[in-house]
C-alpha cells in the first residue's frame, strides 16, 4: 500500500472511529426527556423528569433572544446550576462560579474588610443574625433580626448568602449603605457604615454580686476552647460559685469548639450534639468530661442572635443538666455545610446535615424557645438597661 492510499484510509478510519464513539456515547445515556432519579429518598422509587423542557428553553433563547450574539454558554450553564440549587429552598446551598470560588477561598485564608455582622436568610429575607462585639455594625446600631432590604440601593430580593457577603464586604475605609427594616418601625432606615478589618472577639468574663461569674462568649472560633479553658482556671481561682453563660449575639462557629466548651459542664461520654445526615446516618459528638464546672449552678442567656454552635451548646446544657435558658428565641441555624470543588474551578457549598440536641430536637429553622422569655427593647438598649441580664442574675441569686 503506497503513501497516497494510506493517508485517506487512515482519515476514513479516524472518522469511522469517532462516529462509532459518538454513537456509543449517545446510545449509552438515557434520552434527555427521561432522566432517572435513582436516589429519590422521599418516594423510595425511581421517578422520571421531563428534561427536554430545559433544552427547549435553551434552544428558544438561542433562536429568539434579542441579544443572541452576546450569549455566553458557560454563563448560562452556571446560571442553570444556580437556579437548580435555589429551587431546593435552602439558602445555604449555593453554586460558586470560578471567580466567586477563588474569592471565597482567599477570604477563608486571610483578613477581609467588612462591617462585622453575621447574616442569614430568615423567611426568604436577608437578616442580621448578630453584629459582632466592637464591630462597625455594632457601633452603627444594627441589631439581631434587622432585615436588610437593600445594599447600596441594590435590592436583596432572592439574594443568596454569598452574593450578599460579596456586596457587603469591601476594602477597609470604604462605605456601604444598608437599607434596614426593624420590627416596630413604620419605614425603613438607611445605615451608612465604614468598613474595617474584622477581628472576631472570643470572650470576656467578670465577677458580679461577688460570686457570679458572668461569661460573655462571642464566637466559636478555633481558639475559643483555649480561651474558655483559661477563663475556667481564673474562675476556679476566684470567689465564683455560680455561672451566668451569656450566648446572646453569638452567631456560632465550630461545632467541635462547642463540644469542648460543653465538656466543662458535663460528664465524659455524654452526647453533646448529633449530626444527622439523613438515611439513618448520624455522627455523635461526645463530652470530653472535663467537668470542672459541673457543681456550679448555671443560667444561660440567649436571644435571636444566638445561632449555630451557640444553639448546640445551649440545647445540650438544657437537655443534659436541666439548665434554664433566659431571653428570647434563638435564630435557628442548625445545618452543616460542605464545600465541594467542581470542574473548571467552580464549587458547590451544599448542606449535608442538620444538627440535633442530645434529646433529638432539630434547631434548624425553629430555634430554641427560652424557659424564661424576657424581651430586650430598643428603649432598653438606648437607656443602657438589660432586663434579661437582671432576670438571669435574680434566678442565680
From residue 335, alpha-carbon distances to 90, 254, 367 in Å are 10, 12, 11
Domain match, 244 and 326 both: yes
Domain match, 360 and 212 both: yes
Residue 176: predicted pLDDT = 97
Asked whether residue 59 is domain-assigned, the answer is: yes
pLDDT tens digits along 259-297: 999 999 999 999 999 999 988 899 999 999 999 999 999
Domain range for 279 is 203-337+349-396
Asked whether residue 151 is domain-assigned, the answer is: yes
Domain match, 211 and 173 both: no
CA–CA dist 364, 90 (Å, integer): 11
Asked whether residue 5 is domain-assigned, the answer is: no
The residue whose grid cell reads 430554641 is 368
State the cell numbers at 359: 434529646
Candidates 193, 169, 171, 170; CA nearest to 180 is 193
Domain match, 268 and 126 both: no
Domain match, 241 and 368 both: yes
Active-site pick, 147, 150, 242, 333: 333
Contact yes or no for 357/316 (Cβ under 8 A): yes
Query: What average pLDDT does range 226-232 have in this prediction?
Result: 97
pLDDT tens digits along 108-157: 555 568 999 989 888 889 999 989 888 999 999 999 999 999 999 999 99
Question: Higher pLDDT residue, 25 or 102?
Answer: 102
Candidates 224, 280, 218, 220; CA nearest to 250 is 218
Asked whether residue 18 is domain-assigned, the answer is: no
> What is the pTM for the complete model shown?
0.72
pLDDT tens digits along 57-82: 999 999 999 999 899 999 999 999 99
Contact yes or no for 242/297 (Cβ under 8 A): yes
Query: What average pLDDT does range 369-377 have in this prediction?
Result: 95
Total structural domains in the chain?
A: 3
CA–CA dist 336, 327 (Å, integer): 25
Residue 103: predicted pLDDT = 75
Domain match, 169 and 218 both: no
Domain match, 374 and 258 both: yes
Q: Exposed e or buried b for every residue in 164-182, given b needs 16+ CB within 10 A?
A: bbbbbbbeeeeebebbbbe
From residue 119, alpha-carbon distances to 116, 326, 333, 337, 366 in Å are 10, 23, 11, 15, 17
Q: Roughly how many angstroms between the first and final C-alpha of the chain, as a whole number?
A: 104
Domain match, 224 and 271 both: yes
Residues with Cβ within 8 Å of 365's Cβ and at least 6 positions away in sequence, in order, are 332, 334
Active-site pick, 319, 335, 347, 349: 319
Asked whether residue 187 is domain-assigned, the answer is: yes
pLDDT at 310 over 90: yes
Asked whether residue 94 is domain-assigned, the answer is: no
State the cell numbers at 350: 451544599
pLDDT tier at 106, thresholds 50, 70, 90: low
Q: Of 197, 213, 243, which residue constitutes the final position of a domain?
A: 197
Domain match, 302 and 371 both: yes
Cα angle, residue 345 at apex, residues 344 and 347 outer, rounded to 5°? 110
Q: Of 50, 71, 92, which residue constitutes the final position of a domain?
A: 71
CA–CA dist 256, 312 (Å, integer): 11
State the cell numbers at 82: 444556580
319 in catalytic set = yes
Domain match, 250 and 370 both: yes
Asked whether residue 66 is domain-assigned, the answer is: yes
Residue 6: predicted pLDDT = 39
CATH number for the domain harbouring residue 117: 2.30.42.10
Domain match, 192 and 210 both: no
The residue whose grid cell reads 437593600 is 150
pLDDT tier at 201, thresholds 50, 70, 90: confident
pLDDT at 7 over 50: no
CA–CA dist 240, 247 (Å, integer): 19
Q: Of 197, 228, 246, which residue constitutes the final position of a domain?
A: 197
Domain match, 246 and 179 both: no
Candidates 270, 267, 265, 223; CA nearest to 243 is 265
Question: Higher pLDDT residue, 343 or 46?
Answer: 343
Active-site pick, 308, 310, 335, 347: 308
Asked whether residue 264 is domain-assigned, the answer is: yes
Amino acid at each position: 500500500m503506497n503513501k497516497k492510499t494510506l493517508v485517506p484510509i487512515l482519515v476514513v478510519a479516524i472518522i469511522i472511529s469517532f462516529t462509532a464513539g459518538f454513537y456509543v456515547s449517545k446510545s449509552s445515556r438515557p434520552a434527555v426527556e427521561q432522566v432517572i432519579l435513582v436516589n429519590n429518598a422521599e418516594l423510595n422509587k425511581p421517578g422520571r423528569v421531563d428534561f427536554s423542557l430545559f433544552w427547549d428553553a435553551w434552544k428558544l433563547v438561542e433562536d429568539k433572544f434579542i441579544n443572541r450574539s452576546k450569549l455566553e454558554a458557560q454563563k448560562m450553564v452556571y446560571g442553570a446550576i444556580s437556579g437548580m440549587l435555589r429551587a431546593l429552598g435552602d439558602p445555604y446551598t449555593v453554586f460558586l462560579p470560578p471567580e466567586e470560588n477563588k474569592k471565597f477561598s482567599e477570604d477563608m485564608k486571610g483578613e477581609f474588610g467588612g462591617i462585622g455582622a453575621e447574616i442569614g436568610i430568615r423567611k426568604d429575607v436577608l437578616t442580621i443574625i448578630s453584629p459582632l462585639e466592637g464591630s462597625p455594625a455594632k457601633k452603627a446600631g444594627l441589631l439581631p433580626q434587622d432585615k436588610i432590604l437593600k445594599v447600596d440601593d441594590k435590592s436583596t430580593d432572592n439574594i443568596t448568602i454569598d452574593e450578599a457577603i460579596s456586596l457587603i464586604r469591601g476594602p477597609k475605609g470604604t462605605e456601604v449603605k444598608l437599607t434596614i427594616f426593624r420590627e416596630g418601625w413604620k419605614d425603613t432606615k438607611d445605615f451608612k457604615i465604614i468598613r474595617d478589618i474584622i477581628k472576631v472577639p472570643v470572650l470576656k468574663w467578670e465577677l458580679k454580686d461577688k460570686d457570679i461569674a458572668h461569661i460573655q462568649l462571642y464566637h466559636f472560633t478555633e481558639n475559643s476552647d483555649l480561651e474558655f479553658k483559661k477563663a475556667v482556671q481564673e474562675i476556679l481561682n476566684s470567689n465564683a460559685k455560680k455561672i451566668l453563660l451569656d450566648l446572646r449575639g453569638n452567631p456560632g462557629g465550630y461545632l467541635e469548639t462547642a463540644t469542648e466548651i460543653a465538656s466543662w459542664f458535663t460528664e465524659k461520654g455524654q452526647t453533646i450534639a448529633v449530626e444527622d445526615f439523613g438515611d439513618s446516618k448520624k455522627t455523635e459528638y461526645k463530652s470530653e468530661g472535663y467537668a470542672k464546672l459541673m457543681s456550679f449552678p448555671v443560667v444561660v442567656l440567649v436571644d435571636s442572635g444566638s445561632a449555630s454552635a451557640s444553639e448546640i451548646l445551649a440545647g445540650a446544657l438544657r437537655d443534659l443538666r436541666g439548665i434554664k435558658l433566659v431571653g428570647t428565641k434563638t435564630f435557628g441555624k442548625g445545618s452543616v455545610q460542605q464545600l465541594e470543588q467542581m470542574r473548571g474551578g467552580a464549587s458547590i457549598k451544599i448542606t449535608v446535615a442538620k444538627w440535633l440536641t442530645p434529646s433529638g430536637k432539630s434547631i434548624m429553622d425553629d430555634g430554641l424557645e427560652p424557659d424564661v422569655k424576657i424581651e430586650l427593647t430598643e428603649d432598653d438598649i438606648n437607656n443602657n438597661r438589660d432586663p434579661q441580664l437582671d432576670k438571669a442574675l435574680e434566678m442565680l441569686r
